[in-house]
Structure 1
Amino acid sequence: MPWHPIEASFRDPSGFVYHRDGTLYRQVNRVFAQQFDACVASGLYDELTAGALLVPHRRAGIELAADPNAHAVLEPELVSFISYPYEWSFGQLKDAALLTLDIQTRALTRGFTLRDASAYNVQFHRGRPLFIDTLSFEPHQEGTPWAAYKQFCEHFLLPLALMSGRDVRCGSLLRVHLDGIPLDLGSALLPRRTWLRPGSLLHLHLHAKAQSRYAEAKVSTATKGRTIARRAVLALVESLRRAVDGCRWQPSGTEWAEYTSDNNYTAPAAASKRRTVLELLRGLEAGSVWDVGANTGEYSRAARESASVVVAFDLDPAAVERNYRRVRQDEEPGILPLLMDLTNPSPAQGWGHRERLSLEQRGPADAVLALALVHHLAIGHNLPLPKVAEFFARIARNLVIEFVPKSDSQVRRLLRNRPDIFPDYTREGFERAFGERFTVEAVRAVAAPQCGARCAVPARPPV
């Protein structure tokens, strides 16, 4: 049977991930056999999987290997949706950082260490961060520093410090710097007051200066021949944990943070809309739903009643953060809040444009939910309705979309300080544009005070 590699895992000589006959496997190469077997024998793997910190796997037959270099073949538990650090909220990045440090502490206690501390080793699964790189562990060599220290700072601590101390939108720098935000850049961007905080001073500012000074030096030269005891590495990890804990951000003050409480809907009208949405989704029998423009996820939770996996996208950092905090607090395993600007969605990135998948490449979803959104795209961003329909047809097997007319107060707000250059933004123009890409199966009225006649439309692309 042919196999197909996962393009994001080609850099590691110890093994790689691939598909064969619709099943995901991880091959452990012979070059890493001793380290892998030692990790399993130590009990570290069992400890981490039992604590839901590391993705569990089962041993598969060696005959399923991709090539003759295999020492073992693993079949890991599937993660329902692959996301990336530049799509996470502040709280998600912080939880992923704390998970990485917790795993490093546990590994050191058993005589192992993380070879790398990439944020891409973490995914969000069942409402919580999960470490997915089974081959990141190797025996710790007494006297050596943590090789992944700089990577942890650039992937986690520095972005968190910028998001909490400068502007939460600094997290988007991770989309430009896939290998982590450079220490020198981050140090220059951080506020002056961070020089007075021990964690920021040591791990970011002085670290950046040391990197500049010793960029071309060997580790032995940079450390002046001194060895580093394991207890010192544990102390470093604990210091990093305190620095991460010290990064805090309150989700408020953004454009759409208060939309849930500042909209046209009374409680009865919102409840009626929720029932309508749930009825339409149940008719589609969708297993996965993407709620685009989800805000804090009120309708994502309605979708979760009929779908096993709901990805709740929004462009507002505070709204996504509030959604994630609710997921954690209420233990909602089927909802994944993510940052996403639909007018500039995550592209294919990395080597050959294949290491990090675009939003479209991670679809299509069984159903896309687009409520109170189309007017923002068409009027707020000058996107013609046929273009909007074309995009949704690429990412959705089915679509539930709400049309918001110009008589609606939210649309009038968009047009308040600009000329109305949108003659085709009408109910008829909407139906014409989406009728070219979808077959409309039903239309439901959505009533709300201070609104025109909204409608929710479930549709399927024509066969």
Structure 2
Amino acid sequence: MTEIISSAISFHPHSIADYKMRLFKWSGQLYRGIGSERTPFFTQLFEQGVIQLLVEQRLLIETELTPLKVNGFDMVVSHRSIPFTSYSIEWCPAMIKDAALTLLDIAIELARRGFALEDGHLGNVLFDGCEPFFVDLGSIRPFDEYVHYFRWDAYAQFSQLCLYPLLLMSQGKDKVARLLMVDNEGVLKTDLLLLTRGSGLSRRLSNPPLLTRLQLCLMEILPAEQLKVFREKLKLIQSSFNKKPKELQKLNELQELQQLNELQESQKSNPQTSFLEKITHNYYLKSLEKIRQDVHSISLPCFTTLLSEESEAFSWSSCQDTWTAKQVSVYKTLTELGPSSVLDIGCHTGAYSKLAASLGSQVVAFDKDIGCVTQLYYDAHEKKLPILPLLMDFTQPTPAYGLSNYRYVAATERFQCEMVLALGLVHHIVFEQHPQFEQTVEGFALFSKRWLLVEFVPIEDPELAEFRSPRHSWYTLENFMNTLSKWFSSIHTLPSYPEPRVLLLCEK
């Protein structure tokens, strides 16, 4: 057994809520320390093969027991590191939906084996490229700790941070949903109903009475003769509910459930009297499957975007004789330098992201156009390309948020890549959002670990005819290169298309 001294490890900034289950890095690898109180439970999960099963189903990130010893923890497990951490506020609606389904899939698999999830938020799901994985081992808990009164304790959290945002997005209110998701509480039901008044969502959110739901559940697990007796009891209970004021009905319902719950607790040690446990487990599992069905049925808007001439005109598999000077320059740069990671800023539908990914780079792609990001997500997912497409405006990247960055680590820290691509972007930033070269170049430098390949469109270009005026006299290639030289030690000019556009390969 290898013992690691505490000073040699660094704890993850998001791992502060549970001091008995903490993520840390050591020697460049990601580990999780598990305290003595929870070690027996996770030993059971490994011995029963639950962890391995979830990993094989590509629901849980690869997780293994280790012989490491760290002060304060009785068990240490290793996790495969995902190259880039992204948050749900940066995902397109299709990614949010797939992440929510992954969360429900792992909850269902755990329920089938007698376990439950403590949390119902998307912070426990990360995208490795376009594939979502559940990453919070500590959220797996014993069934009876997080299922009470036949309900998943985390359902309200799941609704506010997954289901309700998706329903808002299905009604074309993506921006509002995304802003509300930043808050700890997410989208409240009152928010949803207020913002979607007249859409019919209120009917979709209503549930049948508890007794009706219990009866439907019992029909699946009880023998016919027992079901008949139980149905008569349910009718008597329902009849008494109907004769009382609603407030008293609710109180009596809670009391009945409390009695059932107490009975359930008293029967756990006796396998001959586990009937109520069977009802509870079956109802919980059916509820999760229904929730999953509801999420899967959410129809998202069909986001469309206009393809650029460049996207329509070429394929990287086509003959290079048909490529433009710009395409050849980018291809040669990527093949000769071979960056391990590439950030494509203003990626549009991702032509150059796909090229970099096909050449072996891990790619992050930013665009503020939801149609572009959605299209790239579907394309990269279908072709299994290592691309993480994110909805982000380069001039307003996700900032650090929360005490000690607990909620969000800044995008400029999370998405630093060996090479940054900024193609056909600078003139849009300058003339649409009006920063100076200094702010734009500094932003590129924050994301770039080594190289920047940036395109400069001079004022003589026909596309910029309307901006030719004395007040834009500072917008010159010479001034741009002088600004680049403050953050990059070498700058080389490469041909682009059409002339007089140029590419500038910069190295720190």
TM-score for both structures, normalised by structure 1: 0.86
Alignment partners' CA distance in 1, 2:256 and 2:373: 42
Give the drift of 1:39. 2.3
Give the drift of 1:316. 1.0
1:16-55 aligned within 5 A? 16-55=22-61
Asked if 1:238 is matched to 2:285, the reply is: no
Give the drift of 1:376. 1.5
Q: Which has the larger radius of gyration?
A: 2
2:484 pairs with 412, 434, 444, which one? 434
Alignment partners' CA distance in 1, 2:427 and 2:259: 64
Whether the 8 Å CA contact 1:363–1:395 is kept in 2: the answer is: yes
Whether the 8 Å CA contact 2:177–2:187 is kept in 1: the answer is: no
Asked if 1:455 is matched to 2:502, the reply is: yes
1:213-362 aligned within 5 A? 229-252=280-303, 257-258=305-306, 260-261=307-308, 266-267=313-314, 272-332=325-385, 334-362=386-414
Which amino acid counterpart does residue 305 of structure 1 have in structure 2? S
- Structure with higher helix content: 2
Asked if 1:99 is matched to 2:102, the reply is: yes
* Secondary structure at 1:31 match in 2: coil
Moved more, 145-154 or 174-183: 174-183
Which amino acid counterpart does residue 158 of structure 1 have in structure 2? Y
> 1:445 — aligned with what?
495
Using a 3 Å threshold, how does the CA distance of structure 1 residues 363 and 161 change in structure 2: closer, same or farther? Answer: closer
Give the drift of 1:315. 0.8
* Secondary structure at 1:342 match in 2: coil
Alignment partners' CA distance in 2, 1:301 and 1:191: 41
1:145 pairs with 126, 148, 151, which one? 151
> 1:131 — aligned with what?
134
Alignment partners' CA distance in 1, 2:411 and 2:49: 37
> 2:418 — aligned with what?
366
> 1:81 — aligned with what?
84
Using a 3 Å threshold, how does the CA distance of structure 1 residues 220 and 197 change in structure 2: closer, same or farther? Answer: closer
Number of aligned positions between the proteins = 433
Moved more, 103-112 or 398-407: 398-407
Using a 3 Å threshold, how does the CA distance of structure 1 residues 226 and 108 change in structure 2: closer, same or farther? Answer: same
Alignment partners' CA distance in 1, 2:201 and 2:447: 46
Whether the 8 Å CA contact 1:251–1:321 is kept in 2: the answer is: no
Give the drift of 1:291. 0.5
Alignment partners' CA distance in 1, 2:502 and 2:470: 22
> 2:473 — aligned with what?
423
Alignment partners' CA distance in 2, 1:20 and 1:221: 51
Give the drift of 1:234. 1.8
* Secondary structure at 1:279 match in 2: helix
Using a 3 Å threshold, how does the CA distance of structure 1 residues 401 and 353 change in structure 2: closer, same or farther? Answer: same
Moved more, 24-33 or 101-110: 24-33
Give the drift of 1:432. 1.8
Whether the 8 Å CA contact 1:83–1:124 is kept in 2: the answer is: yes
Using a 3 Å threshold, how does the CA distance of structure 1 residues 123 and 36 change in structure 2: closer, same or farther? Answer: same
